[in-house]
Structure 1
Amino acid sequence: MRAKTATGPGRPRRPARRGGPGRRRRRRHLTELGFGVLALTAVIPPAKGALFPDHRDAGTAHARTVVSSAMLEQADTSNVCRRGRVALTFDDGPDVYTPQVLRVLRAYNVHAVFYMSGEKAAARPDLVRAVVAGGHLAENHGWDHPHMTDLDAAAVHRQLAATNIAITRAGAPRPTRFRPPFGDTDDVVNRQARALGLRVVRWSVDTEDWRGRRPADIAATVLDKAGPGAEVLMHDGVANSAATIEALPAIITGLRARGLCTALHQG
């Protein structure tokens, strides 16, 4: 995954933090490179586009139209919690595919959690407001998707505080949850989150939808792995978000057929 140019709070020059973040970065980059090489031998690339789109980047400058009236005409709004709740969550927006995600969720009577990039929330406050207007939660995903454990305490604080400001300036309630990019957290990150009133939340089902997976495979992952109390990780701000949107009707109807309602967890 290529590095992004920092904006907003940025990354300060600093001596290495205790525990050797520079060494951890090198180990992590080597690990990620190894996984990438393995994946190249197992995945057939799409006819167009990169094999593995950077999951931090917007899908395209202009979204491909995925949702149609025909796609939603069979939408069932019944949502009975016979076995428990499953939370559908979306990272890395708000972005060009967010309005179509919202359209599907509205048709199926689903409330979800959107973990937002601060820089994108600042750039598209209209989409932050649309998320909240749909009854969804707008929560904190950091300013520009860094590995938080590579940053010192002051830089982590700036990432989180600036994102809170961007979301609230758009008209949303103050975030109460923080999902660390890559799930990358430690005691320093956790302390800074708590200081800002943020509860660190990860996930239990990773769809890996950003990797260029097919809609059927994304849906199958959720239906195979999600049980009562699951937190399902998807993305509304990546190159493959169109496939995630296509998968949503099968995910929602499949979960409900198993007695699992699609709803926000309490607390």
Structure 2
Amino acid sequence: MLYTFFLLSCFKNNDLCGSNINNLTLLGLVKWDESGPQHDLAIARDLCVDDSIFQDVECLHPRNNGWKSILRVRLLHAGVRHRLTHKKQQSSVGTNADDANHQAIINQCHLIATLLGFQFNPLINLLTVFGLPITFEEAQCYTHLWRYVGHVLGIKYPSGVRDALSDFDTSRAWMVKIYDKLIAPNDSSKLLASHVLQAIAYPLENAWPGKLMGINLNHLNSLFRAFLAEKYADEIGIGTQLRSNWWMELQVRTIIATFRLGHVYSYLFGLKKQA
């Protein structure tokens, strides 16, 4: 999810990593230092490479056709997966590892996680955050849509491994496993989350919508904390410093509650009308 947040910041500021000046601005903003840990510098370089891929994909127009939007997203992830494969090839040079197997594992795992992100995150946010009354059958149909997309893109599971998108409950279990076992939030995750939120807040604060509505880093922390739920927000350190600023979080939760009331009213009114 944090990776998506960074891409959104790139979308808002198309030149975020497009020049040396903006690269320095980003690195200065997120406080990465040449003397810091090497993995932090590697993360910064990877984010800028991903932004370059993102800008290439953004050149595809128009956007009013659904299949072209899917193509743009698919090309974006194909570029990221290609970079991951290339890095794995470099790391396996001089070893007895089977390069082909490593490539297949990287591509398959990343693609499965991508599809789960598009399938599970929207459903769970609509259900738990906005309170949109989605039936179990509707959730199943949406899940099978992304299962079909995965089939078309060539996802193959090892023998005995259940399809991650076979049903909604299975996708939930996969997402929990990916988050707890693969992402495994730690101190580095908290540092990266803080940097990404700062990178998003910086262009928003300086754009006219942000100035008009007074959007700042505190608002983003509260918003993402509300979307992630307190358990996961605490694990990656989002909004933990805002607990004393209860008014900011109350505003965000009030806005979300207003949306939920509208959905509940529409749902109940629709049922009465049908009856």
Q: TM-score, normalised by structure 2?
A: 0.28
Larger radius of gyration: 2
Higher share of residues assigned helix: 2
Higher share of residues assigned strand: 1
Higher relative contact order (CA 8 A, sep 6+): 1
